[in-house]
Structure 1
């Protein structure tokens, strides 16, 4: 088995979530069976048990505060539309957790100590609704709005809950509302300023103390995400002395005395301890690389999920050692990343570069573009780029405008010229890669999934001379049709990004749609798509493919029975293998079969029963 396949097959685990009032009981996600599923772990006995077992896989789950039940979200073939189920922690029958509520897209869930649940639901017909469900009682609707919203948290005593909402129409910047369980409003916090110079807010959580009306909130008032404390009863807002660059988030320590601060800056993640009494910030030592998730335990130890581009992920503890080590083989190491900064039209662009050990270039080079767009590539372990490196390619990952971790202005820069702005930054890094001698200008591959797949198709049409091959996974291909077919929450995001609907701003949708430029595409293009994808629906991809077919353009299409990606390891390996084979076929050396010798198109349809991964939105 080659190393690149081992990296996908090696068992992984997520950071275990633990029950607030039964901290020895934990819930985590693992691919130990070859499909990502939920697992219950009793730390007191050491026993582990697989909770879910579905062909599509399952990753969305919540542990009840008393540790007695696991709640998990059941959709159909990756369509993200379904209901919450409940299973006893020690095993037993799966039953609907909230009888009386029809299927929907999930929009947040908070569970109280007495079993009361506050559940957010989203449908195309109703927008967002929030229901309160007390044990043994029917659901009661307490909130409804056409725009997107979500349940943030439930107070420790179960009397208040916080909601992030976008009733003002800006889906990129939420306002906050705190309600009582009967739906009456206690407090409002809105930094959107009527839609001009909008700033976002996010719920980070109530403290674990009865009667405490403080809410930990993320805000952008100083040009980046950082935490503050808002007393929802008195209205008092308390700034915190967390003077760190980049984006900062936080959560309460279990006794409410301190905050665990998670800091993301320039593609790295690290941890800090903030003493609320003294107002002091102290660094928590972690290895170089990225901390992607962390939690503070009742004994004040911190458990965190760490990795680097070279080293596979581990769940570690500040008490020392590995907390949860999956069985089986360990993923082979890869090569470290190099940081590159390039002057772009909107400021310095940060890129991460990996190349095969001992090589200098020029090399065939894959520009692997991240999804989101509000996401970022980091110095963390990723099997996909490592596979390309193993095959002799350099890999360049660009944190274009729209990426997180570089301040609010960088993240918010996309409006109206959607797609085109990101491609300007990618082009600047591409010029550096060629000019520096890293990349062979005749062997440049543009690739990505979700928003990265969208930028791939848009880049192939707007920069046709720049790219030799394009690889687009679950992409936006026809922006107008995608808008009409996608889930309601993403419609709201598109209206925010582009300034309206396709009928209101048709010129902006046309300028940002890959379909507009499809006739200019010259590079061979490979497209993979999940037929049940609610984020990048299949019809709009077929519209793009039909235009390629009409032109006789070189392309291949791989359709699979899932949603926005796959949670099945073998399916993911299959897709990477096909992408690499496609690129190698069309980047062949002179004298070997290449594009001129290849068939103009091919289509592959399968029904593997795989399900969606949550690629960056």
Structure 2
């Protein structure tokens, strides 16, 4: 037996799930569908890869110490654009390289004259025109048009957050999402010509409706067709509609599906590929526009992490479940793309728990280890906050199950996927609302015999890390241990140090700035309650994080140190998380070690 085989066989399953090579759903050039771009961790770091489907050739496009995931193809497939930041700080510029006959590192500035910034969308035209959205703390959002060989021109600028939506196929119309009305959770739409003149507006926040948002789903893929596919929330959930900004027509599609519905155009513009998310699982449909008919496309129960309709009539999709690792398949039941090497070990399926909470029924996803409970239990809290956990494969929760822990994931108020009112309930009492729902699920987990009340871990990353620290201080008797990754720890300092788009979101959530509503920021800040924390605390943070900056984490840690409270801190050289596989394994290993030292090994059932 070779040394490499011995090493692989001795590696625990939880590490194999991180190390196993994986691929994203491949993007493809609209006018050259054989040219694709995808993300893979096959080298141990997530990077971009080009794939020529006509020859089968695959090559690595980027190679950076902290990884690269943000890239796209020009419509003709001749160029790859990718975003270059510094050590994960998300502040940088677009670069490009030819699709063919290029090597890693043979890049050039994609838009000379555009200064570094946080990205706010990108749209590439067929004539070489680029529309580039940028966000800075000084200027807010700026959108530039860059013509081939010309100087960048500004077509939009505003202090509030905005972003590039899409460019029409003929390159004459630009759709943007903006929040000029001051509500960063709910965008309005504007269609511009490339000289900046306004064609039409669509704003569902007018007339006193402050909690109705819109999103750009894409222009029709037909030359001369001005129809824009949009998402709206007029009936309390996300649904698609078709808006013609030139003709002034709005066509409500009214698809008979109970959950959130998103869509994209099929390549000939005659139909839509529909993704339906309901109760933490998703499915695919095809909607024929002329006939007004929905047809189900068969996928296994679980989560579709992305889907794309191809010109040959097939649909490619990235699918997984909590038990089964992700795979890129198509509607011919073929594996489309698979990274070389070992497959990640499977995990255990999730069970659904529906718990009555103070704001309505809370949906939680539960994974149980072997044996009988009560189990030490990790409440793994998702980030966002406007996001949700689904029946999808996740290496982190699977690792805790392997170590004998039950894992509970809670789609608290503020989560997406359960209607507009559930998401928009997250205002003014930020953090405290989510923790009320988590507390209700915690009580159910203990009373049902699932969770050992003496060994309850509150854990999460980003917004989940924030809720972890806030929960340890506001519910100190409920939790035995806390694990917070890249958290908001001191809300006031975080606000002043974070990127401008997140400041706008915080002003929306809390109703103003720290100077305008200091009592709300104080009530929602973990730092306010740090002296009440009883459980040992583990914190990990990226020193280049623009979302949950390091200074506010250090403020919280300093207060723990003053109290001589049991805690450990791990600082790493990256941004809001890491794209390096071994770094991810290291971080989870440190969390596991911390938990097992303080809780002891799980009891055998």
Please indicate the TM-score interval, normalised by the length of the shorter structure: over 0.9
Q: Please name the residue that 2:72 is paired with.
A: 62
Q: 1:448 deviation in Å?
A: 0.1
SS of the residue aligned with 1:49?
strand
Q: Please name the residue that 1:322 is paired with.
A: 335
CA contact (8 A) 1:443 1:467 kept: yes
Q: 1:396 deviation in Å?
A: 0.2
Q: 1:590 deviation in Å?
A: 12
Q: Please name the residue that 1:487 is paired with.
A: 499
Q: Please name the residue that 2:7 is paired with.
A: none
> Residue by residue, what CA displacement relative to the aligned partner does 1:57-106 show, whole Å, maximum 9, x if unpaired?
00000111000010000000000000000010011420000000110000
SS of the residue aligned with 1:546?
helix
CA contact (8 A) 2:188 2:204 kept: yes
Q: Please name the residue that 1:162 is paired with.
A: 175
Which of 8, 29, 44 is the equivalent residue of 2:18? 8
Q: Does 1:337 align with 2:347?
A: no
Q: Does 1:267 align with 2:280?
A: yes
Q: Please name the residue that 2:525 is paired with.
A: 513
Distance 2:280 2:307 in 1: 17
Q: Please name the residue that 1:408 is paired with.
A: 420
> Residue by residue, what CA displacement relative to the aligned partner does 1:281-307 show, whole Å, maximum 9, x if unpaired?
111110111111000000111000000
Distance 2:363 2:387 in 1: 13
Q: Does 1:498 align with 2:510?
A: yes
Q: Please name the residue that 1:188 is paired with.
A: 201
SS of the residue aligned with 1:580?
helix
Distance 2:184 2:145 in 1: 24
Q: Please name the residue that 2:555 is paired with.
A: 543
CA RMSD between the two structures? 1.0
Distance 1:539 1:194 in 2: 41
Distance 1:470 1:195, change over 3 A: farther
Q: Please name the residue that 1:584 is paired with.
A: 596
SS of the residue aligned with 2:247?
coil
Q: Does 1:153 align with 2:188?
A: no
Q: Does 1:301 align with 2:318?
A: no
SS of the residue aligned with 1:213?
coil
Q: Does 1:533 align with 2:548?
A: no
SS of the residue aligned with 2:18?
helix
Distance 1:205 1:412 in 2: 25
CA contact (8 A) 1:530 1:565 kept: yes
Q: Please name the residue that 1:100 is paired with.
A: 113
Q: Does 1:231 align with 2:244?
A: yes
More divergent stretch after superposition (582-591 vs 152-161): 582-591
Map 1:272-287; keep pairs closer than 5 Å: 272-287=285-300
CA contact (8 A) 1:168 1:194 kept: no
Distance 1:319 1:17 in 2: 19
CA contact (8 A) 1:204 1:250 kept: yes
Q: 1:235 deviation in Å?
A: 1.0
CA contact (8 A) 1:263 1:271 kept: yes
Distance 1:141 1:233 in 2: 22
Q: Which runs of 5+ in 2 are unaligned?
A: 1-10
Q: Please name the residue that 2:57 is paired with.
A: 47
Q: Please name the residue that 2:445 is paired with.
A: 433
Q: Segments of 4+ in structure 1 off by > 6 A?
A: none
More divergent stretch after superposition (12-21 vs 239-248): 239-248
> Residue by residue, what CA displacement relative to the aligned partner does 1:480-525 show, whole Å, maximum 9, x if unpaired?
0000000000000000000000000000000000000000000000
> Residue by residue, what CA displacement relative to the aligned partner does 1:318-374 show, whole Å, maximum 9, x if unpaired?
0221000110000000000000000000000000000113x2200000000000000
CA contact (8 A) 1:474 1:564 kept: yes
Q: Does 1:289 align with 2:302?
A: yes
Q: Please name the residue that 1:457 is paired with.
A: 469
Distance 1:481 1:43 in 2: 49
Which of 395, 411, 419 is the equivalent residue of 1:383? 395
CA contact (8 A) 2:405 2:602 kept: no
Q: 1:589 deviation in Å?
A: 6.8
Distance 1:377 1:461 in 2: 24
Q: 1:198 deviation in Å?
A: 2.3
Distance 1:329 1:195 in 2: 55
SS of the residue aligned with 2:576?
coil
Distance 2:385 2:489 in 1: 15
Distance 1:559 1:590 in 2: 28
Q: Please name the residue that 1:607 is paired with.
A: none
Distance 1:193 1:394 in 2: 46
SS of the residue aligned with 1:38?
strand
TM-score, normalization: structure 2? 0.97
Distance 1:393 1:319 in 2: 38
CA contact (8 A) 2:50 2:58 kept: yes
SS of the residue aligned with 1:501?
coil
Distance 2:291 2:332 in 1: 23
SS of the residue aligned with 2:236?
coil
SS of the residue aligned with 1:193?
coil
SS of the residue aligned with 2:413?
coil
Distance 1:199 1:590 in 2: 47
Q: Please name the residue that 1:111 is paired with.
A: 124
SS of the residue aligned with 1:460?
helix
Q: Please name the residue that 2:436 is paired with.
A: 424
Q: Please name the residue that 2:81 is paired with.
A: 71
SS of the residue aligned with 1:306?
strand
Q: Please name the residue that 1:129 is paired with.
A: 142
Q: 1:245 deviation in Å?
A: 1.5
Q: 1:116 deviation in Å?
A: 0.4
CA contact (8 A) 2:376 2:602 kept: no
SS of the residue aligned with 1:411?
helix
Distance 1:116 1:194 in 2: 37
Distance 1:466 1:73, change over 3 A: same
Q: Aligned pair count?
A: 590
CA contact (8 A) 2:404 2:602 kept: no
CA contact (8 A) 1:241 1:281 kept: no
